[in-house]
Amino acid sequence: MPELEHLAESSLDHLRLVLAAGQIGIWELDLETGTAWRNFRHDEIFGYDELLPQWTYEQFLDHVIPADRGEVDDRQKQALERGEDWVFECRITRAEGEERWISGAGRPLIVDGAPTKIIGHVIDITDTKRNETRLETLTAELNHRVRNMLATIRAMISMSSRKASDVGRFGRALEGRVAALSRTHDLLVENADQLFSPRTIIEGELAAFEDVADRVTVKVSGRPRLEGNVAEGFTLVVHELLTNAIAHGALASPAGRVAMDIEKTARGMQLVWQESGGPPVEADIQPGFGTRMMSIVLGGAGQVEFDYRPEGLRCVVTVTG
């Protein structure tokens, strides 16, 4: 009947379109001979530029990496014993040596109560697996960073509340510190390799203090780079040094200056902060919250040393890793 013939041909056309668009390899394994019929896409997935003269189940297992081979073979045996679908994901080594991920499924064909063939498909899922791994890594990194940020903010609030005498001043200081974290977060989002230039961080902080930026000089030697979590701590250190200099130090005076000398070291990076031209520094000055916080936010990744010289504060920030 013409209509049935047209429907059959149309169905075949749709099947060919699905296989081509989905990059699906199809196969049919003869369990008696161990050989398989398959389409070209099947062999292409395993790294061959043309259809091989023969393909066997043993050839397939040889392509499966040793760590996954036993599980894939056991699943096939269980599927045959139970008359169930054989479904698996595994890593393979292609003909040219590249490692890829595949997803496969097969269904036993039963004749007189026993399986005689398995028909199925195989798909290259390497990109999907890599995206899953990348997403898992990014999620773990985000969770870690959020925990660190919340711990830092909690420490700010806790330490400030014990010493606070002016709620308004405390609120403004806390707002500035959180804003510094926010600026670093923007850098983290924009920078894919998660390595940051100290100069970029400092320039971002100076942009928030335009009135004094022209009295701050920055010199960088080498190409120091900071990882994400360390960059957050370093941002807070720079923010505290700037706000302290504006409120009490060299930048509180029109003639005051700040020089930042950053140098890459064998173990990481060193910042030497030197103030000059400001009001005289008291030798017996007591460290405040900001000073204590600077030592905390770098954690085990660095330390901050203060030298309250009469001519101006000298601070050495050492970052490791």
Nearest CA-CA partner of 33 in 16, 56, 17: 56
What is the distance between the alpha carbons of residues 196 and 189, in angstroms, rounded to a whole number?
A: 11
DSSP H or E segment with residue 224 = none
Torsion sign, CA atoms 78, 79, 82, 85: positive
For residue 270, pLDDT over 70 is answered with yes
Residue 2 has what pLDDT?
47
Q: What's the mean pLDDT in 284-289? A: 56
Q: For 210-242, give one letter per residue: b (16+ CB within 10 A) or e.
A: eebeebbeeebeeebbbebbbbbbbbbbbbbbb
Q: Please provide the average confidence, as pLDDT, over all residues in the chain.
A: 79
What is the distance between the alpha carbons of residues 103 and 89, in angstroms, rounded to a whole number?
A: 4
Any idea where the domains of the chain sit in the sequence? 2-124, 129-320
pLDDT band at 19 (very low <50, low <70, confident <90, very high): very low
CATH architecture, domain 129-320: 2-Layer Sandwich (3.30)
For residue 247, pLDDT over 50 is answered with yes
Our measurement of the distance from residue 111's CA atom to the centroid of its chain's CA atoms, rounded to an integer in Å, reads 52
For residue 119, pLDDT over 90 is answered with yes
Give yes or no for a contact between 297 and 152, defined as CB atoms under 8 angstroms apart: yes
Q: Give the angle 264-268-270 at the CA atoms, nearest 5°.
A: 60
Please identify, in words, the CATH class of the domain defined by 2-124.
Answer: alpha beta
For residue 164, pLDDT over 80 is answered with no
**Residues with Cβ within 8 Å of residue 135, at least 6 apart in sequence:** none
Nearest CA-CA partner of 258 in 248, 266, 267, 249: 249
Residue 220 has what pLDDT?
92
